[in-house]
Amino acid sequence: MADRHKILIADDVEFFLKLEQSFLQREDITVLVARNGKQAFDLVSQNRPDVVFLDMYMPEMDGDECCRMIKDDQELRRIPVVMVTATDNEKTLEKCRKSGCDEIMHKPFQRQVFMDLARKYLNLVERAEPRSEAKVRVQYGNPPQKDFSDYTVNLSTGGLFLETDNPLAQNETLTLTFHLSGQEQPICCDGRVAWINAPHAPHNPSLPAGMGIQFINLSLEQMHQIRTFLQQKDEDA
């Protein structure tokens, strides 16, 4: 059996730790978690992960210092390091670059950016996330207008299936706005038509006519909204 991929995530904010780990719930990935820079370096030394995500500012040792130690170590220096920062301040970005990191990622996180970086360094093939049945009204259309309104059949943090007799073209991009019960703010994001379930030649006969839509730029906060909504829905069932 092939060795499992390993990703190390070092971030002192529990909210981000949980969401980042949830992206990587797949059988061939081990997620290592560090809550400060010193622990991150120790885990890198002991486990040799395939890629490391380091928050810039952490207790005990900042991410740039940890990255510098990794890159100065002859046995660890080839491990890719992604520095994570919540600011566009040029001084902070320069500290990241001087640390020798391979990439810089900005907060607030976006799922697509995080997963693109993970796939880049792990050579992963994207897998669809499981979707839960949910009927939610969605306004959608081509930017900047939202011309249509239909209901979802299912929903996940990766996308949704929209029931409609007039689907858009495959790979077409669109804007989406929908409100989840129990959530104060509506979710507004971009999407891509990933596949079409034609009424006369359905790709998935168990679903009605419509289109599967992949979220493009969903933020972590919006992912948290969707996950909370689906968990509450399951508990109420």
The domains of the chain are located at 5-122, 132-236
Task: Check residues 186 and 124 and name the one with the higher pLDDT.
Answer: 186
d(CA 235, CA 237): 6
Burial class (CB in 10 A: 0-12, 13-18, 19+), 30: middle
Average model confidence (pLDDT) for the chain?
Answer: 86
Tens digit of pLDDT for each residue in 190-228? 999 999 999 888 889 999 999 999 998 787 678 888 988
CA–CA distance from 81 to each of 87, 92, 115, 170 (Å)?
Answer: 18, 16, 15, 35
Place of tokens 């950016």: 113
Minimum mean pLDDT among 129-138, 150-159, 191-200: which range? 129-138
d(CA 59, CA 43): 16
Judge whether residue 180 has pLDDT over 50: yes
Give pLDDT, residue 237.
Answer: 66
The CATH superfamily assigned to 5-122 is Response regulator (3.40.50.2300)
Tens digit of pLDDT for each residue in 51-96? 999 999 988 999 999 999 999 999 999 999 999 998 888 999 999 9
SS (H, E, C) the chain: CCCCEEEEEECCCHHHHHHHHHHCCCCCEEEEEECCHHHHHHHHHHHCCCEEEEECCCCCCCHHHHHHHHHHCCCCCCCCEEEEECCCCHHHHHHHHHCCCCEEEECCCEHHHHHHHHHHHHCCCCCCCCCEECCCEEEEECCCCCCEEEEEEEECCCEEEEECCCCCCCCCEEEEEECCCCCCCCEEEEEEEEEEECCCCCCCCCCCCEEEEEECCCEHHHHHHHHHHHHHHHHHC
CB hemisphere CA count around 164 (13 angstroms): 23
Give pLDDT, residue 1.
Answer: 42
Task: Check residues 82 and 31 and name the one with the higher pLDDT.
Answer: 82
In percent, the amount of the chain with pLDDT more than 90 equals 55
The fold of 132-236 is Thrombin, subunit H (2.40.10)
